[in-house]
Amino acid sequence: MKQIYFVPNRCLGCEECVVACEKAKGADPRAFVEIVDGYFPIPMRCNHCEDAPCKAACPTEAIHREETGAVVIDEEKCIGCGTCVAVCPFGVPYISEATGKAVKCDMCTERVAAGEEPVCVAACPKNALIFVEREEPMQERRQRMAKHMKLAVSHEGSLMGRQG
C-alpha cells in the first residue's frame, strides 16, 4: 500500500501542495503548511493511520478505509459533530464552514485508483512529498545509516593506523 511521505530537508514552504489541493478539491483545502519554530515548514495532511482514531471514534461510521488505504469521509453520513477533529493526533480534520461537515485529505483516491499520484505530491517542486510503498522510506533510511556507519568505521580505522 502506498503512502504520502514528507522529506523535511526538501520543503521550501511554498504551499504549492495546498494550492493544488484547493484547485482539485474546491474551497475546503485538505492540506495546509505549518511553520514550526518560525522557520521549518511542515506540510500537514492526513496520515491515513493504520489504526485511524478518527475512523474508530466516528459515531455515524462516516469514516472508512478505501481499498487504496486512504481513510476517507462519506459526506452523506457525516453529521459534523467534530469527534474526528477532537481525536486526530495530527489535528488534520476540521469542520467546513461552508458545509458543516468534516473535511480531511482523502489521498486523492480517484487519482490513485487511476494510477496517478495525489495532487499535492505531483505539485511539489522539490519532491518534499513522495508517494511510495510504506516500507521504501525506511529501507532508504537504513541504507543511508549503514553507509554512514561504514564510512565512520573506516575513517576511525584509518586514523588509528596513523597514530600507532
pLDDT in tens, 77-127: 999 999 999 999 999 999 999 999 999 999 999 999 999 999 999 999 999
Which amino acid is it at 139? Answer: Q
Q: Are 33 and 58 found together in one domain?
A: no
Residue 152 burial (CB count, 10 A): 10
pLDDT for res 62: 98
* pLDDT score of 160 more than 60: no
Q: Helix %, strand %, coil % for the chain, to 5?
A: 35, 20, 45
Q: Are 23 and 56 found together in one domain?
A: no
Q: Are 55 and 100 found together in one domain?
A: yes
The domain of 150 spans: 135-164
> pTM here?
0.77
Residues contacting 117, CB < 8 A, separation 6+? 108, 111, 131
* pLDDT score of 137 more than 60: no
In the predicted model, what is the mean pLDDT of residues 62-68? 94
Which of 11-25, 59-73, 143-157 has the least mean pLDDT? 143-157
In the predicted model, what is the mean pLDDT of residues 56-71? 95
DSSP label at 81?
-
Question: Shortest CA distance to 20 belongs to which of 135, 133, 145, 111?
Answer: 111
* pLDDT score of 71 more than 90: yes
Q: How many domains does the chain have?
A: 3
Bin 143: left if φ > 0, else alpha if -120 < ψ < 50, else beta. Answer: alpha
